[in-house]
Every structure is written in structure tokens, then in C-alpha cells.
Amino acid sequence: MSSSPIFSRSSATYRRPHQASTSVSPPGPPTPPVDASPNPRPIAQLLAFVVVVFLGLLQFLPATHFRHPSDPLRKWVPFDSGSPVSSSFSRSVASEDGKIHIVSWMDCLDLRVLVVLANSTLSNSRYPDKVHFHFFIPEGHDDKVSYFKLKVLFPHSDLEIFGQEEVKEKVRTANSGIVYAGRSFEEIVPFVIPTIHRSWGKFIYISPNVIVKGRVEELLEANLTSYAVAVIEDCSKRLDNYVNSEVLAAIQRTASKSWISGTPYAMKACMPDSSILLIDPRKLDKDLVEAILWWSKVLNWSERSSPKNPAIALALHGRYSKLSSSWLLGHSRRGTGKEIMIIPYDGPTNMCSGFGNGPSQSVPGNIWKQYLPPMADRILGS
């Protein structure tokens, strides 16, 4: 039996040579080739880096402006830390407690008026954190309730509430036998308060029925020299409008008091305005309050005869320094072209009746609303 040869397959697999397939282009215009992304220029990269670094370094510069949270207008106020006002302010409080003490007296309690006074003062001050308010309110009201209402509206401000009885008692006992003829103590109390609260040092007295438009710290620049009081003169009111020259001359001839001038009084002298006063208790004459009471009695003054007490002008004769006329109450100098630093309060006010508050009296005006915080109506009551 013959054997046939055995054939074995090779382990290598046979592959056909690969032929490149020809792709069929779709009908239509040919697709343009896509360009590679351009490389940024070195100059542009350097410029961008410099801008980023510059903006970062700006964050380390000191702030130049601020906005007080209680300001309803949210105005930007410059710090001007290198200005003459700032440097002189720092020098003026260096020997004291570093505060701007604001004192106000209200015969008839109206917290809304005090809120407008406080907010307008803070909003226009360069140093709202240094302002310290001292409000004297009439008896018959809970001082703590008034304090907490104001504190809710001005949580970051320093403020104190005082009763008025101690000051009024000081007026009654200032000179035995002389009774103050005025129903309102507002004109005389600025000179009585420093005899009780001497620890405050220099302070600014502001009438409550005003809106402050200027910077109160500028008042501290006034040079008191040897005087204890600085006042604003209102030349729309003259001494001879309130005092007869012959009566005044007769008093000079017959009375012998240390506060009576040895020379004739200038009857055309401007009357001091009591809306704003700068007082240094350490220099205050001990007989000033007594002199005011004495002149009130001798001139037989009462609020029925004249709303302006000439006794204060005569008692302060030769005893005060002058404040800038720009702080004269706005309605007294309209048309002068000068910037107005304070204006009268133009909102509703409570009218006092006896020892209580009467109905609210509205005075046309809208400026006061700009300085009323949003929560005021809810906290104070509408």
C-alpha cells in the first residue's frame, strides 16, 4: 500500500495587501482648511499681567471714601485724612476723650425730631464714629424706652438720655430770689449743663429743631482763646430791637454788678444766635448763669414781651468768641449766597400743653424725610 505524502499548512496567515480606499467627496463647494490657533503676542501677555498686578495692589491702598449705614442718601463721603480739617480736629481732641460731644435739650419730647437731628449730624460728619449724643428730655417719660428706641435706629452710635430736673433745679438755686421768667429753659440750659457735666470737656450745643447740613467737627476748629463760649452772631437782629438804650444806660449808672460793662453798650450790636454754641466748661465763668437771671429780672423780660431774651446777649457781652457765620440758621440768611450749614426742621412736631404733649402740628416740607431711617415709623410709631 503506497502512502501518499502529508501536506501541513503554514502557521503564517496570508493577508491581502491593503489598498487605500478612495473616499468620495460630498457634492458641493470644497471645505476650507482650518487654521491653527494663533499664538498670543508676548507684549499683550505682559500688559495683561501688569494690569492684574496693578488692580491687586490697589486693594492695599487706604480707603479714601466711606458711606455711613444711617445715611438715607448713601452718599460717598471723603475721609480727607491729610486735610487741615482732619489734622486740626485731631489736635483739638488730643487732650480730651477723642469724642465730638453733641448736647441738645428738648422742652417737649418728640423722638422723631431727635432722630432727624442725629441722623443729619452723622450723615454729614467725616467722623460719625466719634460723635457722642447727650439728649435731655422732659420728665414724665421713661428714659429707658426713649433710649432703646434711639439705640435700635442708631446701634453703632454713642448716645445718652438724661432727665431735666437736675438742670432746672440748678437754675432755680443759681441766685436766691430770682425766678426765671421763661416757660422754655432752652436758651439758658446750654450754660447750666456744663456746671453739672464737666467731664465732657468741650461740647457743641445744638437746638433740636434743626437739620444739620455741615460737618459739626469743623466747629471744634474755633479758637476760643480765653473765652468759654463761641456763638454765631445774627446781624438781622440788633440789641436796640429788644432793649431801650436809655433804660440800659440807667442800669449801668445805678447797678453795681461785676457783669455790667463799664463802657456804653453798642446798641447796634448783632444778637447771638443760640441754635449752635461751642462751650468749654473748664473756662466757664461761675457767675454767667446768675448774670443771665439778673438781666432777665431787671429788664422785666418774659416770653410774652419778646421771644428773644436780650439778657443772654448782655450777660455774654465781651465774654465770647465768634463762630463762622456759615453756621447761622438757614432762614436767617437766605439770599446771601453762602453755603447753609443748618436749616430749620421742616417736619411735623408735637405741641406741648402743660406738662404733656399736645397734638402734632405739621409744617410743610420734605427735607426731614431724607434723614428719617426706614424703620423709624415702626419703632417710634406713626
Q: Go through the domains of the chain in sequence order and give each one's CATH number.
A: 65-380 (3.90.550.10)
Q: Which residues contact 215 (CB under 8 A, 6 or more apart)?
A: 85, 124, 125, 126
Distance CA 149, CA 155 (A): 10
The dihedral of CA 79, 85, 86, 92: what is its sign? Answer: negative
Q: Dihedral (C-alpha) 272, 205, 174, 164: value to the nearest 10 degrees?
A: 140
Q: Name the pTM for this structure.
A: 0.72
Confidence (pLDDT) at 277: 95
Confidence (pLDDT) at 152: 92
Distance CA 270, CA 235 (A): 4
CA atoms within 13 Å, Cβ hemisphere of 317? 20
| Inter-residue contact 102 to 204 (CB < 8 Å) | yes
Distance CA 364, CA 2 (A): 139
Q: Which residues contact 112 (CB under 8 A, 6 or more apart)?
A: 347, 348, 372, 376, 380
In sequence order, the β-bridge partners of residue 270 are 238
| Inter-residue contact 128 to 100 (CB < 8 Å) | no
Cα angle for residues 230, 231, 234 (degrees, 5° grid): 160
| Inter-residue contact 106 to 137 (CB < 8 Å) | yes
In sequence order, the β-bridge partners of residue 265 are none
Provide the residue-wise pLDDT of the chain in tens; the chain has 382 residues: 444 444 444 444 455 555 555 555 556 566 666 666 677 778 888 888 888 888 888 877 776 666 655 455 556 666 554 444 444 445 444 346 788 999 999 988 899 999 999 999 999 999 999 999 999 998 776 778 889 999 999 999 999 999 998 998 888 877 555 666 555 678 889 999 998 888 888 999 999 999 999 999 999 888 888 899 999 999 999 999 999 999 999 999 998 888 999 899 999 999 999 899 999 998 998 889 889 888 988 888 765 566 678 899 999 998 999 999 899 987 555 545 567 899 999 888 876 654 444 445 555 688 999 999 988 888 887 5
Q: What is the DSSP pairing of strand 131-136 with strand 210-212? A: unpaired
| Inter-residue contact 213 to 343 (CB < 8 Å) | yes
